[in-house]
């Protein structure tokens, strides 16, 4: 009989969220969806609705205001889902790295599957990233991946604020108490 | 026997039609577009997704909407009473609207409101169409309408109004304010997910079958004319969908209600004098 998992990667629906980006990466994503690059030939639809999407495309460094929405949107998406960080900002913070109002990339809050670098990353790279994400989507099961905890004090070693390695999983520090 | 087969595969036929339409629309925009079986891939994927249930009635009303629509299509294929079919279809839309109001999402409420207004706009046109068929054939039975000669010439103005409500029913530009995907994210279907959204998705395919089966009634017993009408309308609707922008909800009602009622009434009055 047919295997449902094989069809899972044939119809990825996209949720695009701008976590405080400068719009450079968003324009490139929209270009990838436009007739010239035509992501729809892989079955991609830009739904804009977290409850019906499989791929979470996030751009921009996470700011104080957007991080709660980011986690909220992530938890509203049904499993299986894939998170793609588009642009250097979403991967590492880019030029905004270590500014006081900017977090260092989205992987401090939610688990990221594919990193697409570049400032701004080109539509070709974004398409490559989405296709890579489809392979991951095929293997994902319905199991939940938990978003990380929102607030945790930054640890400073060698005078450099590095929060990524100190990110907590939900429930991890509740157990300690 | 033949009817039972068609009733069973009606959603699949609608799915094929929807897939073909997506390819056609892509070709009109000079791109490759998704594969023909894309709607079925979507369906398989939705089975494998986690489903969030907002409240039980919301999910059940979506399924009831799908089933009622299927019964409507079955009655058309079996050749039952046209008036009865139109009111049963109204009942299925009522289930959809109730589903929209049964959750607390603002988008869902706006979508349900708009669905209600759109129903007010196109329902008189459908009823007028039934009356027109009654005046020509002397019967509301679809089997009688199908047995008689084509009535597209005496009902031409009503045919034009029917063309106008096809985009409203199929949620296409310029009349797709009911599920404006960029503003209210699909309206009524916003809170559905997983396997429950699948029923809404398949209900959309059934809407295609419903509206095009009604369109074929204008051809009567002339199968060649029916096929020509179907292909012509299919191309026209997609062309208009690609070439126009969305109009506001208020304009939708104004255009469909005024033009539809004027054209339909003129047609009916004309018929009663002939
Ligand atoms: S990576 Fe560059 S283009 Fe993209 S959001 Fe950041 S600053 Fe803008």
Number of H helices, E strands in chain A: 6, 7
CB distance A92 to ligand 1 below 6 Å: no
Confirm or reject contact between A43 and chain B (CB < 8 A): yes
Predicted model pTM: 0.82
Q: How far apart are CA B96 and CA B102, in angstroms?
A: 10
For the cut 70, the answer to whether the pLDDT of residue A158 exceeds it is: no
DSSP SS3 for B51: coil
Residue with tokens 């719009």: A23
- Cα A59 to averaged position of ligand 1 atoms, centre (Å): 8
CB-based contact A133:A113 (threshold 8 Å):
yes
Q: What is the ipTM of this complex?
A: 0.76
Q: Phi-psi region for residue A92, left (φ > 0), alpha (ψ -120 to 50) or beta?
A: alpha
Whether residue A87 has its Cβ less than 6 Å from ligand 1: yes
Chain A partners of B51 at a C-beta cutoff of 8 Å? 78
What pLDDT, on the 0 to 100 scale, is given for residue A108? 80
pLDDT (0 to 100) of residue B190: 84
Q: Is the peptide bond preceding residue A49 cis, with omega within 30 degrees of 0?
A: no
Q: How many CB atoms within 10 Å of residue A73?
A: 19
User: CA torsion angle for A77, A79, A85, A91 (degrees, to 10)?
Assistant: 110
CA angle B100-B122-B98, nearest 5°? Answer: 15
Beta bridge partners of A84: A57, A114
A161 pLDDT more than 70 = no
Interface test with A, best of B24, B28, B48, B110 (most A CBs within 10 A): B48
- Between chains, do B38 and A43 touch, taking CB under 8 Å as contact? yes
Residue A156 tokens read as 């400073």
For residue A177, name the pLDDT band (cuts at 50, 70, 90): very low
Contacts of B195 in chain A (CB under 8 A): none
Confidence at residue A157, expressed as pLDDT on a 0 to 100 scale: 53
User: Looking at residue A149, what is its pLDDT?
Assistant: 56
Which residue stretches of chain B have pLDDT < 70? none
Contact A38 B33 (CB under 8 A): yes
pLDDT digits (tens, 9 = 90+) for A131-155: 888 888 877 766 666 666 555 555 5
A49 touches chain B (CB under 8 A): yes
CA atoms of B222 and B149, how far apart (whole Å): 7
Is pLDDT larger for residue A165 or for residue B149? Answer: B149
Q: Does B272 touch chain A (CB under 8 A)?
A: no
pLDDT for B68 equals 92
Check residue A169 and give its pLDDT. Answer: 46
Which residue reads 């399924």 in tokens? B63
What's residue A142's pLDDT?
A: 64
pLDDT of res. A168? 47
């Amino acid at each position: 009989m047919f295997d449902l998992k094989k069809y899972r990667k044939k119809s990825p629906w996209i949720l695009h969220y701008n976590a405080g980006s400068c719009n450079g990466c968003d324009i490139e994503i929209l270009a990838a969806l436009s007739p010239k690059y035509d992501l729809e030939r892989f079955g991609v639809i830009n739904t804009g609705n977290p409850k019906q999407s499989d791929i979470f495309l996030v751009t921009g460094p996470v700011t104080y205001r957007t991080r709660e929405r980011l986690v909220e949107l992530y938890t509203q998406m049904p499993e299986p889902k894939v998170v793609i960080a588009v642009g250097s900002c979403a991967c590492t913070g880019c030029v905004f790295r270590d500014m006081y109002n900017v977090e260092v990339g989205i992987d401090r809050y939610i688990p990221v599957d594919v990193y697409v670098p570049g400032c701004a990353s080109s539509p070709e790279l974004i398409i490559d990233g989405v296709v890579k994400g489809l392979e991951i989507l095929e293997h994902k099961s319905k199991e939940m991946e938990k978003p990380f905890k929102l607030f945790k004090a930054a640890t400073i070693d060698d005078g450099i604020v590095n929060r990524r390695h100190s990110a907590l999983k939900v429930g991890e520090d509740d157990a300690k108490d | 026997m033949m009817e039972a087969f068609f009733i069973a595969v009606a959603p699949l036929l609608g799915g094929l039609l929807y897939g073909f339409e997506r390819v056609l629309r892509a070709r009109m925009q000079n791109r490759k577009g998704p594969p023909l079986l894309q709607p079925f891939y979507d369906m398989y994927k939705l089975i494998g997704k986690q489903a969030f249930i907002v409240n039980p009635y919301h999910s059940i009303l979506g399924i009831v909407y799908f089933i009622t629509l299927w019964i409507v299509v079955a009655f058309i294929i079996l050749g039952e009473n046209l008036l009865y079919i139109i009111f049963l279809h109204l009942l299925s839309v009522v289930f959809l609207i109730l589903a929209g109001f049964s959750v607390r999402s603002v988008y869902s409420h706006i979508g349900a409101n708009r669905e209600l207004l759109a129903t007010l706009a196109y329902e008189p046109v459908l009823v007028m169409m039934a009356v027109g068929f009654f005046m020509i054939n002397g019967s509301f039975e679809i089997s009688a309408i199908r047995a008689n000669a084509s009535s597209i010439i005496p009902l031409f103005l009503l045919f034009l109004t029917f063309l106008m409500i096809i985009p409203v029913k199929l949620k296409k530009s310029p009349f797709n304010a009911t599920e404006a995907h960029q503003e209210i994210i699909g309206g009524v279907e916003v809170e559905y997910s997983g396997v429950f959204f699948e029923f809404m998705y398949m209900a959309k395919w059934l809407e295609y079958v419903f509206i095009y089966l009604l369109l074929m009634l204008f051809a009567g017993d002339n199968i060649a004319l029916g096929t020509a009408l179907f292909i012509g309308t299919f191309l026209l609707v997609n062309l208009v969908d690609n070439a126009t922008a969305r109009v506001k909800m208020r304009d939708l009602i104004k255009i469909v209600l005024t033009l539809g009622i004027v054209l339909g009434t003129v047609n009916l009055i004309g018929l009663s004098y002939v």
